[in-house]
Amino acid sequence: MSSLAAAPTVQEGASWQEVLAPYARPRLARSLLDLATSVVPYLALSVVMYLSLDVSYLLTLALAVPTAGFLVRVFIVFHDCAHGSFLPSKRANAWLGAVLGLLVYAPFLRWRHDHAVHHATSGDLDRRGTGDVRTLTVNEYRALSRRGRIGYRVLRNPLVMFGLGPIVAMVVGPRIVAKDARPRMRRSVIRTDLALALLIGGLCFLMGWWQFLLVQGPAALLAGSTGIWLFYVQHQFEDAYWESAEDWTYAEAALRGSSYLRLPRVLQFFTGNIGFHHVHHLNARVPNYNLPRAHAENPVFHDVPTLSLWDGLGAVRLKLWDESRGRLVTFPQARRVSG
């Protein structure tokens, strides 16, 4: 990894909140520009993909790449709305988030709740499980039955995570209402499911269900795989931060447990600056377009764990948290530890 120096210590409380407060102010004009450079090109390219079916499906698949890029960018706007950071009005964020949820197949209220839990528990060994990529410690893995170990290995296999993962995360999981869900969350899922049924049903009626799948499938799958990889690498790198609840702190989890993923400029655009994840986790009210400036202007962010694109791809090999060494390890490394 390109930089794994010890992250700077941030004093808890008002100090870092005051430092980031000027950046946590959405600007309507800039937010509207984000919408114009995400939703509009995504919808336009989706139409072009449909029209290209009469020319060549290879052309359709080629167009799926930029379409997926803009869908990722749509998701970042949806994500900012969930944090109430995209528009000045709380109600406007909720309404826009609910609409964008139809494009990314996500019930806004429930996703907002689960993601808030993720922010509140990221890096806490005792509160894993909500909004996380399932991660076991070396000792927990060893305590599993043979079937349990196989299941965990299958779950963490890149082909499953980035191949089947988007289907589960975007299509299957969000459609299911948990039995113990609060009424508000239950209504969020049901309303989104009904709205999607009407929207997708209408599109299939107009263009044909097979054509809908040929257009929507590749772009959604590629965008979903990219999103899962981004979410993974933002917290799953070798010297990540995991602590038991009594030693866990919010600021340290943000600065040491959230990576700065340094991407080429074009990928930074399509991913909505989410690579500045350390800033985002320290203050989720900072809009995506203010994250680079907050990072550049504050020295506290200059020594955080930094990953290149290649580092991020390589981090997929890491599977287990080794509590004795305080780092993520591969399966072979875990076996060597046990020997």
For 13-23, what is the mean pLDDT?
76
The enclosing H or E element of 180 equals none
**75-134 pLDDT, tens digit each:** 999 999 999 999 999 999 999 999 999 999 999 999 999 999 999 999 999 888 777 788
For 317-331, what is the mean pLDDT?
91
Task: Judge whether 122 and 259 are in contact, CB under 8 Å.
Answer: no
What is the predicted pLDDT for the residue at 269? 97
Instruction: Specify burial of residue 295 (Cβ count, 10 A radius: 0-12, 13-18, 19+).
Output: buried
Assess whether pLDDT exceeds 80 at residue 169.
yes
Assess whether pLDDT exceeds 90 at residue 32.
yes
* Confidence grade of residue 41 (pLDDT, cut at 50, 70, 90): very high
For 11-38, what is the mean pLDDT?
85
DSSP string computed for 81-138: HHTT-SSS-HHHHHHHHHHHHHHHT--HHHHHHHHHHHHHHTTBGGG--SSS---EEH
Q: Report the chain's C-alpha Rg in angstroms.
A: 20
Torsion of CA 274, 108, 46, 290, to 10 degrees: -30
Alpha-carbon span 15 to 41, nearest angstrom: 40
What is the predicted pLDDT for the residue at 15? 72
CA atoms within 13 A on the CB side of 238: 14
Task: Judge whether 295 and 275 are in contact, CB under 8 Å.
Answer: no
CA-CA-CA-CA torsion sign (194, 198, 199, 200):
positive
Assess whether pLDDT exceeds 80 at residue 7.
no
For 271-293, what is the mean pLDDT?
95
Task: Judge whether 299 and 291 are in contact, CB under 8 Å.
Answer: no
Assess whether pLDDT exceeds 90 at residue 50.
yes
Distances (CA, A) of 301 to 13, 265, 312: 17, 19, 19
Assess whether pLDDT exceeds 70 at residue 136.
yes
CA-CA-CA-CA torsion sign (25, 130, 244, 231):
negative
What is the predicted pLDDT for the residue at 11? 44
What is the predicted pLDDT for the residue at 182? 86
Assess whether pLDDT exceeds 50 at residue 2.
no
* Confidence grade of residue 337 (pLDDT, cut at 50, 70, 90): low
Task: Judge whether 72 and 223 are in contact, CB under 8 Å.
Answer: yes
Count CB-CB contacts under 10 A for residue 257.
26
Average pLDDT, the chain: 90
Give me the percent of the chain exceeding a pLDDT of 90.
70
What is the predicted pLDDT for the residue at 338? 52
For 32-58, what is the mean pLDDT?
97
Distances (CA, A) of 87 to 100, 135, 266, 318: 14, 34, 24, 37
For 196-202, what is the mean pLDDT?
96
For 55-81, what is the mean pLDDT?
98
